Amino acid sequence: MEEVAEDNLNELIQRCMLQVTERNDFGRVRACRMNAIMRELALSISEREDFYSVRGPTDTSSANDARRLSVHRCGSNMHFDRRTMLHLRSFIYFDTTIFPMKLSFKLLRVLDLQGTLLESVPDGVFTLFNLYYLGLRKTRIRKIPKSIKRLINLQTLDLAYTKIKSLPDGIAELKKLRHLFVHTIGDQTHKSFSEFSGFPAPRGIWDLKDLQTLQGVEAGGKMVRKLKQMTQLRSFRIMKVRAIHCGDLSAAITEMTQLHRLDIVAAEEKESLNIQSISLEVPPKWVGSLNNLTWLRLCWSALKEDPLPSICKLPNLVFLLLVRAYDGPRLVFQEGWFPKLKDLRLVDMDHLQQLEIEKVALPKLRQLNLVRCGTLMAVPQGIWYLQKLEMLYLEEMPQEFVGTLRSRNHGKDGLLKRHQSEGLDDHTKIPPIPLAITHVFQKDGRWYGESLKDADLSQYEEEYIAALREEMDWKEDR
């Protein structure tokens, strides 16, 4: 089903009806735009055919027969006509003000209320028996009632970044559910071990045979034992894992042959996870066999052995995040390693003193993030071999590191000497330096950002820093 939808989207792009504005690290489309002429034409035809209607700030009425309606920043001026809303199939509400709670949408299949100020789910939602998609991301909702079980056709339930801490057992009765998101990032700086919060597993959730995405479930004895039944999972994040869970967890993950994304988060910072009947001082061997894996977070594991050799040959890995993952002083990316990796992020690697990149390593890397690696004083050796690198993002890195990079980036002579010192004597073959080099740091309680390419220094507000971190944050595979 998802593959068919993606094929249709790509066909619209190939026909130039849509323009891609952003792709995720897996190459999939994250955001599109439509040029003004095409948009006006599409809206005109859609309204005439009663296919789709868009209402904006200047519109006060929803009165039309369109089967799909999108509302943008209309506020309380918008009048929703009960009669004309009965036939709606899709309702996307981009307003952050009042939602028409008492309206009835008997035929509705898609309801997206992302970012609204809702604090509870309107009762009428649980009478929408045809609903396929319910989007409540970034709302203020704290509770999902038991009546959620009435939505027997629901396929996607998005509760990410809400205030929900638990789900009712009725979730297990949604036999057609394919995607479930219920996680929240509590600390965007990633300095706290408990940066993510999830939810205890509702009873019977392991019986959902169509479930492909399970983001944010907490480990429990029965949940982990039953996990072996969920071999169809493609995206899986499990939290509060303890040593006692690791045998069953390891066996279950080994059987998840379609897994694209995996997060395992321990219950406590000092919890010793026993993935392979030994303490987790080396990466588990089964990680290297997950050939479909595209996204990997390895956080707070404090490995004694270099994790890179265990994962370097994953053929489809495009995103790798290491947060306090390795206690060694040196990481080397060898020739031929990580053939498809596009995004590499190293955070709080407190013991890392040397980072080396050999020729033909990381051939497709586009973004490199180095965050609070306090003992990394020298610019990564071989970084200039990264032909595809577009973004180098630095946050609270040592002054010696930043100063060296700044001085080596300014001036033609400095650039040439840099490459000659690393064995690139033919200046005609000098690869371009990244299009963007951003350094974010704190001074006297204020946040600053500077471009190391043009020496531009700006003071950033806290809201800007939060937005920047969200942009630089690991991207959700939705």
Residues in the chain: 478
- Domain 54-182: CATH class, spelled out: alpha beta
How far is CA 403 from each of CA 20, 93, 182, 373, 393, rounded to the nearest angstrom? Answer: 37, 47, 42, 15, 15
Is 246 in a helix, a strand, or coil?
Answer: helix
Closest CA to 165 of 193, 135, 196, 188: 196
300: left (phi over 0), alpha (psi -120 to 50) or beta: left
The phi, psi pair for 384, rounded to 5°, reads -75, -5
Q: 19: part of which helix (H) or strand (E)?
A: strand 19-23
The secondary structure of residue 61, as a DSSP letter, is B
Pairing between strand 19-23 and 29-33? antiparallel
Closest CA to 201 of 132, 268, 249: 249
Question: For position 221, what pLDDT does the model report?
Answer: 84
Please provide the distance, in angstroms rounded to a whole number, between the alpha carbons at the two ends of the chain. 14
Question: For position 188, what pLDDT does the model report?
Answer: 57
Residue 307 to residue 282: CA distance in whole angstroms = 7
> Which parts of the chain have pLDDT scores under 50?
274-282, 411-432, 474-478
Question: For position 478, what pLDDT does the model report?
Answer: 45
Cβ atoms 318, 339 nearer than 8 A: no
Closest CA to 177 of 198, 147, 205: 205
Question: For position 180, what pLDDT does the model report?
Answer: 96
Domain with CATH 3.80.10.10 in the chain: 54-182
Buried/exposed code over 279-296 (b: 16+ C-beta within 10 A; e: otherwise): ebebbbebbeebeebbbb
Question: Each residue of 299-318: pLDDT tens digit?
Answer: 777 777 888 888 888 888 99
Question: For position 451, what pLDDT does the model report?
Answer: 80
